[in-house]
């Protein structure tokens, strides 16, 4: 599937940052669901690793959320997680564990807690491709 630009409404961007700050110093993770690159719903997921260096979703929770997304006629648009001690760029671990080439990976960095950068990537065959990401305001 060709990738469209990713559009995240400001309320979801704020929600991801709030989630990241709540779980700090551990990484947080979650799912952005929607259609055609436009996020319609955010799911906070448990990081079963509860670690500052990595994240892993609970397979049962992932399946439950996946079914709900599918039943809503949406797709998983992106997986998001936070980096509490590094940039908003996929780590070596992220590369190794990226098994969903059709899904974007959204990274939130808490290096700057006042204004945490959010970036989106495709990870395919060990290649990191940055995606265009628009964070929108009201009126869209």
Q: Which residues bind Zn ion (CB under 5 A)?
A: 91, 94
Q: Smaller CB distance to Zn ion: residue 9 or 57?
A: 57
Q: Smaller CB distance to Zn ion: residue 25 or 64?
A: 25
Contact by Cβ (8 Å): 90, 98: yes
Report which of 100, 26, 107, 90 is spatially closest to residue 62, judged by C-alpha positions.
100
Query: Is residue 105 classed as helix, strand or coil in its secondary structure?
Result: strand
- List strands edge to edge, sheet with 29-35: 127-131, 118-124, 104-109, 75-83, 29-35, 38-45, 6-9, 133-136
Closest contact distance (angstroms) between CB of 35 and Zn ion is 26
Q: Smaller CB distance to Zn ion: residue 40 or 91?
A: 91
Question: Which residue's C-beta sits nearest to Zn ion?
Answer: 94
Closest contact distance (angstroms) between CB of 93 and Zn ion is 6
Say how far residue 113 (Cα) sits from the centre of its chain.
Answer: 17
Strand partners, 109: 83
Q: Smaller CB distance to Zn ion: residue 74 or 100?
A: 100
Closest contact distance (angstroms) between CB of 9 and Zn ion is 23
Closest contact distance (angstroms) between CB of 96 and Zn ion is 10
């Amino acid at each position: 599937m060709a990738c469209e630009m990713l559009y995240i409404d400001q309320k979801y961007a704020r929600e991801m940052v709030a989630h990241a700050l709540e779980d700090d110093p551990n990484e947080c993770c979650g799912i952005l669901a929607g259609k055609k690159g436009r996020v319609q719903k955010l799911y906070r997921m448990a990081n079963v690793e509860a670690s500052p260096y990595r994240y892993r979703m609970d397979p049962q929770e992932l399946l439950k959320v996946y079914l709900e997304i599918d039943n809503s006629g949406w797709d998983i648009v992106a997986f998001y997680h936070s980096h509490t001690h590094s940039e908003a760029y996929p780590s070596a671990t992220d590369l190794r564990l990226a098994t969903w080439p059709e899904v974007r990976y959204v990274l939130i960095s808490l290096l700057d807690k006042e204004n945490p950068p959010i970036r989106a990537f495709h990870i395919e065959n060990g290649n990191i491709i940055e995606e265009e990401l628009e964070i929108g305001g009201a009126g869209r």
